[in-house]
Amino acid sequence: MSLKKIAVAIDGPAGAGKSSISKVVANQLDYLYIDTGAMYRAVTWAVLHEHIDVHNQQAVEQLLPSLNLSMEPTETACKVFIGGENITDFIRQPKINDNVSIIASYKAVRQYLVERQRAMAAVGGVILDGRDIGSVVLPKAELKIYLTASVETRAKRRWLEVQGTPNELPLEDIIASVTERDEMDKNRKESPLVQVPDAVLVDSSDMTFDETVAHILSLVEARTNYE
């Protein structure tokens, strides 16, 4: 008798803690963690690296066939490579934050990445986090979670994370950037961020990190039957 391994879709706005929480949950369950935001960030990195104008949709699309994007998902991390180069440490810079929503709004980019995300998820026992996992990537995921928190809470968490790092920014700038990304992610034409009707809402504004992890683990356990 073994525990059934399910697909867990975690969607929500920027800074809701999806990736840090997903990593811990995946590690505890021995699931693969697949950070789909890292894939959009990797494409953005490549576009900037090639000095392509992010607004030039056609040029961005033309880059895709030669992109050579690969991921290395484990239970604790999700590394991302372009052309064999590990770029995981470069994709959280402010210039990527400022441009990634534009790149993520392009249909061809989404099709290219969704195909790869589905292939990676096919192994079962996975947690994917993003914006369109429950709605587009894995509409049949056994558990869908919409993880959110207030704009102020999310911006404050990001501000604390980047304190003392080269990416340090004033809180007001982070609030502005989080608000702008929320707007773009929710209002774009292609696969906007939505809470699908069958997703469980988890608002972590008044929850600690450990409480949120415990709550999500209990949701997974409730959906995981012995077979």
Q: Which residues bind ligand DC (CB under 6 A)?
A: 14, 36-37, 40-41, 100-101, 104, 130-133, 181, 185
Of the pair 9, 220, the CB lying nearest ligand DC is at 9
Of the pair 103, 213, the CB lying nearest ligand DC is at 103
Of the pair 122, 222, the CB lying nearest ligand DC is at 122
Looking only at the bridges linking them, the beta strands covering 78-82 and 85-86 are: antiparallel
CB of 132 to ligand DC, least distance (A): 5
* Amino acid in the structure at residue 89: D
Of the pair 74, 225, the CB lying nearest ligand DC is at 74
CB of 28 to ligand DC, least distance (A): 21
Report the C-alpha gap between 171 and 148 in whole angstroms.
Answer: 19
Of the pair 6, 101, the CB lying nearest ligand DC is at 101
CB of 133 to ligand DC, least distance (A): 6
Report the C-alpha gap between 10 and 145 in whole angstroms.
Answer: 5
CB of 17 to ligand DC, least distance (A): 10
DSSP states along the chain = --BPP-EEEEE--TTSSHHHHHHHHHHHHT-EEEEHHHHHHHHHHHHHHTT--TT-HHHHHHHGGG--EEEEE-SS-EEEEETTEE-GGGTTSHHHHHHHHHHTT-HHHHHHHHHHHHHHHTTSSEEEEESSIIIII-TT-SEEEEEE--HHHHHHHHHHHHTTSTT---HHHHHHHHHHHHHHHHH-SSS-----TTSEEEE-TTS-HHHHHHHHHHHHHHH--B-
CB of 109 to ligand DC, least distance (A): 9
Of the pair 176, 222, the CB lying nearest ligand DC is at 176
CB of 118 to ligand DC, least distance (A): 12
Of the pair 144, 181, the CB lying nearest ligand DC is at 181
CB of 138 to ligand DC, least distance (A): 10
